[in-house]
Amino acid sequence: MEHWGIVGGGMLGMTLAHRLRQQGRRVTLLEAAPNLGGLASAWSLGDVVWDRHYHVILLSDAYLRGVLAEIGLDGEVRWSETKTGFYVDGSLHSMSNALEFLRFPPLGLVEKLRLAATILWASRIRDWKPLERVPVAEWLERWSGRGTCEKIWLPLLRAKLGDCYTRTSAAFIWATIDRMYAARRTGLKKEMFGYVAGGYARILERFGEALAEAGVAIELESPARGIEPLAGGGLEVRFGKDRRERFDGVVVTLPAPLVPALCPALSDSEAAALRGLEYVGVVCASVLLDAPLTPYYVTNVTDAWVPFTAVIETSALVDPDQLGGRGLVYLPRYASPGDPVFDEPDAALRERFLGALARMHPGFTESRVRAFQVSRARHVFALSTLGYSDTLPPSETSVPGLHVVNSSQIVNGTLNVNETVQLAERAWPRLLGSAGA
Ligand SMILES: Cc1cc2nc3c(=O)[nH]c(=O)nc-3n(C[C@H](O)[C@H](O)[C@H](O)COP(=O)(O)OP(=O)(O)OC[C@H]3O[C@@H](n4cnc5c(N)ncnc54)[C@H](O)[C@@H]3O)c2cc1C
C-alpha cells in the first residue's frame, strides 16, 4: 500500500492525513511538539486550559465546519454575536453597529462615508488579482482619503504587519474585508462568531482520536530532521531521535523558509524561492484575569504607544462556565521573524504589556492577574507582497514524491483555519494524482 508521510501536525497536516487515509493510503503524521495542533494548539494557563492563540470560528467557515461535522463536533459549536471596540487617541469607543460608527469621534462625516464606501467597494470586488500590483497604503488612500488613512488604516496596517506594510499589496486588505463579508456572500443573513465548548483542545483531541481510529500513525515529539530521495524510488525521512522511514510520498506543511534546510535535494532556485517568502510572526500574551475586562471580543488599537496590536477578549465570546467565570485576554504583537521582540524575556513583556493595559483601562490593576504566559511564533503568515501569487513556488517539487503544502499558498485569503482546511481539500486530489508516489 502506498505510504505517505506528512510533516507537521497542525490543522493542515491533520486534514491531509485524514483525507489520504480515507482514500486508502497508509499515512504517518510527524509532529515535532508533544501534541497536535501547532498554532491552533491549547495550553494550561493558571487553572484554565484554552487556546495558546485566540481562535474564533465563523458561521461562514464551511470547510472547517465540514471537518467538525465529520468528527461529530459541528453540533457543539456555540454561536454568539460579539461587540467590537476601538481604542484611539487615548479613549475606548464601541464600534459594534452603524449608529456607533456614525458617532465615532475621530473621523468627520465625509471621512466616515469614504471609509464605509471603501469597505463596501472592497467587499464587491471579485477579481482580486489586479490588487496584487498596488501597494496597500496607496490603494487605501485613493479610496478613503488621506485623513482616514492616517487616522485609521495606517495604524491598523502597522499593527498587523509592522513596517512590512510598505511592501504589502492591496490584496491583503481586500482579503481581510472579504472574510468580514463571507457570511453575506454565502447567503447567510449575518456573521456569527463561535467556538466549540472546551476550545481547540476539544477539537484537536477529537480530531486526533478520529485519525488514530482510522489508522493514521501519529508520531508526536518527532521532528523531521531530513528528507532525501532514495536511489530505488521513494523518500527517506529522518525524524525524532534517530529514526528513519521510507515513504512513497512526503508532504511538508511547515512555513516555507524552514523547508530548504529539511530537503537539501531541492534545486537552488526552489530553495531560494521558498526562503524568499517573507513571513510575519506573533508574540502573543495570554492574560487570565479574576473576571472579564470589557464587553468587546476585539478592541482594535491605533495608538502607537501601545505595545500590542489589539486586545482580544475571549471571555466576551465564550460562556462564563468555559473559563470558570474568569476573564481571558490576549495581547498580540505581530512582527517580522527577526524583530527583537521575539527575544524579549517574559518578565519584560509582562511589565510593558500590563503597564499599557492599565493605562488603557483605569479600572485594571495587576492584582487582577491570575496568570500571564507568552507564546512566540516567528512564522505565522506569509506577507502578501506585490505580485505575490506570481512569485509562489509550485507545491510539487523537482524531487519526485516531495510536496510542499503550506499557508503561504493561501493567495486570496487571510490566514485562518477555514482557509487552512480548504488548502488541504484542494491539495489531496492533486497529491494522489501526482507522479512519483
Ligand atoms: C495569534 C493567532 C490568532 C489566530 N486566530 C485565528 C482565528 O481566530 N480563527 C482561525 O480560524 N484561525 C486563526 N489563526 C490561524 C490558525 O491558527 C492557522 O490557520 C492554522 O493553525 C494553521 O495550521 P497549519 O497546520 O498550516 O500550521 P501550523 O499550525 O503552524 O502547523 C505546523 C506544525 O508543524 C510542526 N513542525 C514544525 N517543525 C517540524 C518538524 N521539523 N517536523 C515535524 N513537525 C514540525 C509544528 O509544531 C506545527 O504543529 C490564528 C493564528 C494565530 C497565530
285 and 263 in a common domain? no
Q: Does residue 360 share a domain with residue 413?
A: no
Number of domains in the chain: 3
Residues 33 and 127 in one domain: no
The reported pLDDT for the residue numbered 179 is: 86
Among 364, 382, 400, the domain-final residue is 382
Which residue has a Cα nearest atom 35 of ligand 1?
A: 8
* Residue 298's CATH number: 3.90.660.20
Question: What would the mean pLDDT of 369-379 be, rounded to a whole number?
Answer: 98
Determine, yes or no, domain membership for 86.
Answer: no
Phi first, then psi: give them for residue 137, nearest 5 degrees: -65, -40
In a domain, 127, yes or no: yes
Which residue's CA is minimally distant from atom 31 of ligand 1? 10
354 CA to centre of ligand 1 in angstroms? 26
pLDDT value at 130 more than 90: yes
Q: Where residue 11 sits, what CATH number does that domain have?
A: 3.50.50.60
Q: If you measure from the C-alpha of residue 133 to the centroid of ligand 1, how many angstroms do you get, rounded to a whole number?
A: 28
The pLDDT of 368-372, averaged and rounded, is 98
* Any atom of ligand 1 within 6 Å of the Cβ of 420: yes
Per the prediction, the chain carries an average pLDDT of 94
Pocket of ligand 1 contains residue 286 by CB under 6 Å? no
Q: Which domain holds residue 287?
A: 279-382
Residues 398 and 423 in one domain: yes
C-alpha 381 – ligand 1 centre gap (Å): 9
Atom of ligand 1 nearest to the CA of 223: 42
Q: What local confidence, expressed as pLDDT, does residue 93 receive?
A: 93
How does residue 412 score in pLDDT terms, banded at 50, 70 and 90? confident
> How much is the pLDDT for 98?
84
Q: Which residue has the higher pLDDT, 95 or 20?
A: 20
Please tell me the predicted confidence (pLDDT) of residue 195.
98
In the chain, % of residues over pLDDT 90? 86
Is the shortest distance between the CB of 8 and ligand 1 below 6 Å? yes
208 lines ligand 1 (CB under 6 A): no
pLDDT at 355 over 80: yes
Average pLDDT (42-59) is 97
Looking at residue 182, what is its pLDDT?
A: 76
365 found inside a domain:
yes
Q: Could you tell me if the CB of 218 is within 6 A of ligand 1?
A: no
Among 7-21, 156-170, 327-341, which is the least confidently predicted range?
156-170
Please write the tens of the pLDDT for every residue from 138-157: 999 999 999 999 989 998 89
CB distance 380 to ligand 1 below 6 Å = yes
Using a 6 Å cutoff on CB, does residue 18 contact ligand 1? no
CA of 38 from ligand 1 middle (Å) equals 4
Q: Looking at the structure, do residues 394 and 374 belong to the same domain, yes or no?
A: no
pLDDT bin (cut points 50, 70, 90) of residue 437 is very low
Residue 369 sits in the same domain as residue 283: yes
CA-nearest residue for atom 13, ligand 1, is: 416
**Single pTM value for the model:** 0.95
Q: Answer whether residue 309 is part of any domain.
A: yes
> 377: which residues sit within 8 A by CB, 6+ positions away?
39, 53, 281, 282, 284
Give the residues across from 190 on adjacent strands: none
The pLDDT of 294-307, averaged and rounded, is 94
Q: Running DSSP on this structure, what letter comes out for residue 413?
A: S
> Does the beta carbon of 52 sit less than 6 angstroms from any atom of ligand 1?
no
> What residue owns the CA closest to ligand 1's atom 34?
8
Could you tell me the distance, in angstroms and rounded to a whole number, from the CA of residue 170 to the centre of ligand 1? 24
Residue 125 domain flag: yes
Nearest CA, atom 6, ligand 1: 55
State the pLDDT at residue 275. 96
Same domain, 288 and 361: yes
* Mutate which of 51, 57, 211, 415 for ligand 1 pocket (most atoms within 8 A of beta carbon): 415
Q: Is residue 52 part of a domain?
A: no
Average pLDDT estimate for 306-313: 95
Distance in Å, CA 407 to ligand 1 centroid: 9
Alpha carbon distance 325, 329 (integer Å): 13
Q: What is the pLDDT of residues 76-121, one digit of tens each?
A: 999 999 999 999 999 999 988 888 888 888 899 999 999 999 999 9
Confidence of residue 185 (pLDDT cuts 50, 70, 90): low
Q: Region 218-224: what's the mean pLDDT?
A: 98
Ligand 1, atom 33, residue with closest C-alpha? 8
Same domain? For 263 and 394 the reply is yes
Residue 230 and residue 384 in contact, taking contact as beta carbons nearer than 8 Å: no
Cite the beta strand spans of 138-295 per DSSP E.
193-196, 217-219, 224-229, 235-239, 243-247, 249-252, 279-289
Q: Work out the average pLDDT over 12-40.
A: 98
Asked whether 270 and 397 are in contact (CB, 8 A), the reply is yes
Environment class of 288 (CB within 10 Å of its CB; exposed 0-12, middle 13-18, buried 19+): buried
117, 155 Cβ separation under 8 angstroms: no
- The predicted pLDDT at position 101 comes to 86
> How many A from CA of 17 to the centre of ligand 1?
15
- Nearest ligand 1 atom to the CA of 262 is 41
Question: Is there an atom of ligand 1 within 6 Å of 413 CB?
Answer: no
Distance from residue 253's CA to the centre of ligand 1 (Å): 10
**Same domain, yes or no: 361 and 283:** yes
Distance 364 CA to ligand 1 centre (A): 32
Residue 85 lies in a domain: no
Enter the C-alpha cell of residue 356. 499599557
As a whole-number percent, the residues of the chain with pLDDT over 70 amount to 98
| Residue 159 in this model has a pLDDT that exceeds 70 | yes
Residue 261 and residue 215 share a domain? yes
Q: Is the CB of 223 under 6 A from ligand 1?
A: yes
The answer on 229 and 357 residing in a single domain is no
Mean pLDDT in residue range 232-244: 96
Q: Are residues 336 and 377 located together in one domain of the fold?
A: yes
Please state the rounded mean pLDDT for residues 47-69.
96
Q: What is the mean pLDDT of residues 258-262?
A: 98
The pLDDT of residue 189:
67
Q: Is 240 in the pocket of ligand 1 (CB under 6 A)?
A: no
- Residue 23 within a domain: yes
Q: How far apart are CA 77 and CA 100, in angstroms?
A: 29
**Beta bridge pairs of residue 311:** 299
Tell me how crowded residue 83 is: count the other CB atoms within 10 A of its CB. 18
